[in-house]
């Protein structure tokens, strides 16, 4: 299966919503603690045994923790940086003409960026400064700052159907649901007893959200009645870093963890763990599923490797 070696530690990987053979990887030097970053744009070969090839890369003075492809421009990437900046890149232009813009408002590391899939002109960023910010492509300053969390916001994700609704996951052990038309959060879910590192919405049921925590579990919630989760997924040995619902199957989701594994789950069945991949040799911190190709997965980690594979096959198979 295709693999790519990055010079720095992998942090995030995302498939392009426009090209089924394209993906981007965010990396940071020295495990993101101090040092440079690099954004890689990679291409999959038609031959499944061929390695991933690099189309272009962009160097940054600080680590890059997350990235998002634009849903409106096929060559536009947004990067979340360790210096608190949010950078916009045009992958069709050479590195000397990038970044197009660097938005400097967050006062601490930006840990997450998510592009609005329905409105397609706006994106949100989540930061260790305890805030989430809303931006549009055409404005040099953020439109709004959402400040309620009592600790780092690790992740923010747009609802796939409701244009104005997003969720945020925080180290204060809560997930908050927001509507950008409302002055404050519309719902607070005290989801875990430990830090919540990630959240994601189900792509087929806009009331279902998953949370991933330092407590090693993933919980699935229905926001219409969130006193108790509808499912609790146990199987990871350490903190769960990312969780992502399948774009193709209502009940499937993928996760990655500090236990170095990537897991596939069906949250509606009793034996929820339907696949486990142990190909990484360090923390697995980035995972994605292709919107364009059913079952195509990608992961990256602190072992400086990016893997792309079809669910049900061995990521390390030649």
pLDDT reported for residue 32: 80
How many residues make up the chain in this entry? 318
The DSSP string of 210-272 is EEEETTSEEEEEETTS-SS-SEEEE--SS-EEEEEE-SS-TTEEEEEETTS-EEEEETTSSS-
The DSSP string of 145-178 is EE---SS-EEEEEE-SS-TTEEEEEETTS-EEEE
1 confidence band (pLDDT: 50, 70, 90) = confident
Nearest partner of 199 among 219, 185, 182, judged by Cα = 219
- The arrangement of strands across the sheet holding 296-301 comes to 3-5, 305-310, 296-301, 284-289
Helix %, strand %, coil % of the chain (to 5): 0, 50, 50
Dump pLDDT digits (tens) for 240-285.
999 999 999 999 999 999 999 999 999 999 999 999 999 999 999 9
Dump pLDDT digits (tens) for 114-167.
999 999 999 999 999 999 999 999 999 999 999 999 999 999 999 999 999 999
pLDDT reported for residue 195: 98
Nearest partner of 142 among 123, 156, 168, judged by Cα = 123
Asked if residue 52 has pLDDT above 80, the reply is yes
Nearest partner of 38 among 116, 115, 99, judged by Cα = 99
DSSP for residue 20: T
DSSP for residue 35: S
Alpha carbon distance 202, 208 (integer Å)? 5
Q: What are the two backbone dihedrals, phi and then psi, of residue 95, each rounded to the nearest 5 degrees?
A: -55, -30
pLDDT reported for residue 50: 83
49 confidence band (pLDDT: 50, 70, 90) = confident
Dump pLDDT digits (tens) for 303-312.
999 999 999 9
In the numeric block, which tokens belong to residue 117? 């899939």
Sign of CA pseudo-dihedral 189, 240, 161, 149 = positive
- The arrangement of strands across the sheet holding 22-28 comes to 9-15, 22-28, 37-43, 53-60
pLDDT reported for residue 137: 94
Residue in the block written with tokens 């244009």: 163
pLDDT reported for residue 81: 98
* Mean pLDDT for all residues in the chain: 97
Q: How many percent of the chain have pLDDT more than 90?
A: 95
pLDDT reported for residue 183: 92
Alpha carbon distance 311, 107 (integer Å)? 39
Asked if residue 92 has pLDDT above 80, the reply is yes
- Burial of 316 by CB count in 10 Å (0-12 exposed, 13-18 middle, 19+ buried)? middle
Q: Which residues contact 318 (CB under 8 A, 6 or more apart)?
A: 1, 49
The residue-averaged pLDDT of 162-177 equals: 98
Dump pLDDT digits (tens) for 191-227.
999 999 999 999 999 999 999 999 999 999 999 998 9
pLDDT reported for residue 47: 79
């Amino acid at each position: 299966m295709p693999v790519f070696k990055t010079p720095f530690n992998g942090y995030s990987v995302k498939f392009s919503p426009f090209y089924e053979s394209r993906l981007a990887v965010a990396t940071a030097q020295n495990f993101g603690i101090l040092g440079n970053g690099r954004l890689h744009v990679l291409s999959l070969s038609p031959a499944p045994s061929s390695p991933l090839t690099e189309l272009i890369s962009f160097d940054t003075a600080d680590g890059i923790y997350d990235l998002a492809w634009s849903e409106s421009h096929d060559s536009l990437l947004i990067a979340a940086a360790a210096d608190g900046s949010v950078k916009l890149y045009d992958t069709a232009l050479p590195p000397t003409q990038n970044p197009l813009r660097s938005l400097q408002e967050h006062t601490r590391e930006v840990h997450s960026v998510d592009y609005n899939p329905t409105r397609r002109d706006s994106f949100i960023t989540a930061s260790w400064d305890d805030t989430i910010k809303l931006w549009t492509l055409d404005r040099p300053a953020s439109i709004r700052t959402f400040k309620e969390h009592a600790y780092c916001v690790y992740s923010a994700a747009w609802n796939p159907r409701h244009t104005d609704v997003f969720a945020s996951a925080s180290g204060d052990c809560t997930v908050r649901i927001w509507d950008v038309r409302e002055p404050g959060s519309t719902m607070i879910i005290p989801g875990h007893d430990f830090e919540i590192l990630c959240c994601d919405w189900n792509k087929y049921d806009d009331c279902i959200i998953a949370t991933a925590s330092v407590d090693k579990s993933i919980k699935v919630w229905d926001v219409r009645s969130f006193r108790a989760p509808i499912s609790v997924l146990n199987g990871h040995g350490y903190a769960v870093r990312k969780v992502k619902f399948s774009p193709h199957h209502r009940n499937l989701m993928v996760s990655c963890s500090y236990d170095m594994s990537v897991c596939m789950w069906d949250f509606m069945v009793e034996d929820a763990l339907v696949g486990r991949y142990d190909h990484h040799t360090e923390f697995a911190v980035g995972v994605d599923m292709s919107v364009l190709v059913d079952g195509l997965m990608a992961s990256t980690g602190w072992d400086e490797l990016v893997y792309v594979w079809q669910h049900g096959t061995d990521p390390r198979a030649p």
